[in-house]
Amino acid sequence: MSDGHTLLDTPEPGPRGRAPLLIGGGLAFVLLATVGATAGWVLAGPDEPSPTDPPAAAASTALTSAPAPTSAAPSSAPPVTVAPTTPWTTAPAASSKPPTGYVTVPDLVGDGFEGVRSDLRDRKLGWRLIFGTGLGEKVERLDPAPGTRVSHGTTVKVYVAGPAPEAEVPDLDDYDCADAAATIVERGFYPRYRTGRVGKVRSQDPEPDVTRHWNDEVAISCGGEE
């Protein structure tokens, strides 16, 4: 029992605010953890696993984010081809000799016409003496010109400075016709056949030992026994 002056028993107040503080601190910790995880994901980039992800998820992310290998694009340049190498050959040296059956006209200008005639004959070339009106027996020019390649038997015109000299007609009696013709040519004349070219010489014109000029004709008559 109590009287009017006696106060009622009331519980002592304990420390205030501890429960709210504990709840607030827990919420703050959760918020900080969430913000930290989000900041770490942003900084790491979308291709890197979050620190909060389990190891299996991180491995899966690494595998799926790797770029697939691509095949090399075909080259647009055309294929290079190498041309076959031509074997090096050495050109054959030019021969200074004319081919068989040909001969080069020699340079005989300035020589005496008789020597020129002999040289042409040795080379199996023909000749035709053309005498001039000047002086001397030297050759002034040849046609074909010296150095020209001609075939055997070609007649070369020999131009002599002076007129045709005199020569004596040989005695051809009883010569074989072919031998008589060769002798006439050797003496500077031209043979003329009256009755053929076989047999023995029976007559001739002009008569033996008559004087004529080079390039004149000597006629012979051949026949009978050879």
List, for residues 52-92, the tens digit of each pLDDT value: 444 444 444 444 454 555 555 555 655 655 555 555 555 55
State which amino acid sits at residue 124: K
Note whether 155 and 170 are same-domain residues. Answer: no
> What is the CATH classification number for the domain harbouring 217?
3.30.10.20
Residue 141 lies in a domain: yes
Q: Where a domain ends, among 6, 30, 58?
A: 58
Q: Which residue has the higher pLDDT, 128 or 195?
A: 128
Q: Where a domain ends, among 143, 160, 177?
A: 160
Alpha helices (H) in 45-153, listed in sequence order: 55-65, 113-122
The DSSP output letter for 225 is -
Residue 70 lies in a domain: no
Residue 16 lies in a domain: no
Residues 6+ apart with CB under 8 A from 177: 193, 196, 197, 198, 199, 200, 201, 220, 222
Residue 49 lies in a domain: yes
Residue/partner pairs of 93-102 with CB below 8 Å, 24 or more apart: 98/149, 101/151, 101/152, 102/149, 102/150, 102/151, 102/152
Residue 135 lies in a domain: yes
List, for residues 21-62, the tens digit of each pLDDT value: 445 555 555 555 554 544 444 444 555 544 444 444 444 444
Report the number of distinct structural domains present in the chain.
Answer: 3
Q: Where a domain ends, among 160, 175, 202?
A: 160
CB atoms within 10 A of CB 36: 12
Domain carrying residue 36? 22-58
Q: Are residues 196 and 224 in contact, defined by beta-carbon separation less than 8 angstroms? A: no
Size (the chain), residues: 226
Note whether 126 and 174 are same-domain residues. Answer: no
Note whether 174 and 127 are same-domain residues. Answer: no
Note whether 173 and 217 are same-domain residues. Answer: yes
